[in-house]
Structure 1
Amino acid sequence: MQVINETAPRSEVVAAFFSDADHGPMVMVNLLKFKDIATYPDGRDPELTGRDAYNRYGEAVRACVEAVGGHIVYHGPVTGMLLGQVEEQWDAVALAYYPSPQAMLQMVGLPEYQAIEIHRYAGLAGQLNIRTKAPAGMPA
């Protein structure tokens, strides 16, 4: 299996993902790989780690997720692997509940989200976003 970390989805993937009208509540699994040093377009914070830049995003994104009816289920560091092999292990995992793909789309359109996204790009070397169906009875 080939794994390719990316920081932004391709347009054809976005179109298919958000046009899935049958998909209700979901939990997004985010496998995160951080840059050693954050890279901001304006050169700010040249000593900041990628993890610290992403944490700026992570602290602020909670309010954006909640604004569209979602919540952060879990966020934490990857500390080891028991099964499987990858060339390079991810640094962290985050799980976010959304009432629908359309709610996530609404979130990324929020001005508050767009203002913090710079920290995400500054800190991430790449990530995998995996959509899963939220289990029945999961708190909204």
Structure 2
Amino acid sequence: MAHLTINTKTLAALDQDSPVTMINFLRYRDIAHFQNREELPCTGLEAYQRYAAKALTLVESMGASVRLVSAAAAVCAPEGESWDDIIIVDYPSVRSFIGMADSTEYQSFCYLREAALADTRLIACQGNASFALSGAIGRKHYTDDHYQFAAPKDNNNASPRW
């Protein structure tokens, strides 16, 4: 069963003013399914790239930043579960993410995302991905300064998939 709709009850239960990192797991359709819209036929990946081009501008205008875009391989998952890409985005607050998702601008192109994806997971992590690690290395807290998923913002090595 595909999961393409955001669970607003879960979002409402989060601290609205706290930073949030959204982890997106994406599985593309072979052929994008536009339903009753006039669009040029394309693959799911191509439809997602159309969506991403519009979403990136809006995401950045909300003060958010893309941390990671990468091909994904499920190594600890139910047999047969697979994802094509993973995207991690840091938002300044849950409220800003909801504001972006509810905006008229986003609503005007989010159909591209739905057309592109066979399935997805969107995981909200409060606190902008600061990690607390324990065990053999003791109880140290690693922040974005010590544990980075992506190159610094001034690095122009953007993924061609985004």
TM-score by length of 1: 0.81
Deviation, 1:102, is 0.8
Alignment of 1:15-54 (within 5 A): 15-21=9-15, 24-40=18-34, 41-46=36-41, 48-54=42-48
Deviation, 1:43, is 4.7
* Structure 2 counterpart of 1:89, one-letter code: S
Cα distance in 2 for residues equivalent to 1:6 and 1:66: 25
> Larger relative CO (CA 8 A, sep 6+): 1 or 2?
1
User: 2:20 touches 2:124 (CA, 8 Å); kept in 1?
Assistant: yes
Q: CA 1:22/1:8 → structure 2, altered by over 3 Å: closer, same or farther? A: closer
**Larger relative helix fraction:** 1
Task: Report which of the two structures shows the higher radius of gyration computed on alpha carbons.
Answer: 2
Q: CA 1:107/1:88 → structure 2, altered by over 3 Å: closer, same or farther? A: same
Cα distance in 2 for residues equivalent to 1:16 and 1:68: 21
The answer to whether structure 1 residue 121 and structure 2 residue 114 are counterparts is yes
Which of the numbers 110, 114, 131 marks the counterpart of 2:124? 131
CA RMSD for the aligned pairs?
2.2
SS of the residue corresponding to residue 48 of structure 2 reads helix
Aligned to 1:8: 5
Deviation, 1:138, is 4.1
User: Structure 2: where are the runs of 5+ without partners?
Assistant: 131-141, 146-162
Aligned to 2:86: 93
Cα distance in 2 for residues equivalent to 1:113 and 1:33: 21
TM-score by length of 2: 0.71
Aligned residues: 131
User: Structure 1: where are the runs of 5+ without partners?
Assistant: none
* Structure 1 counterpart of 2:81, one-letter code: E
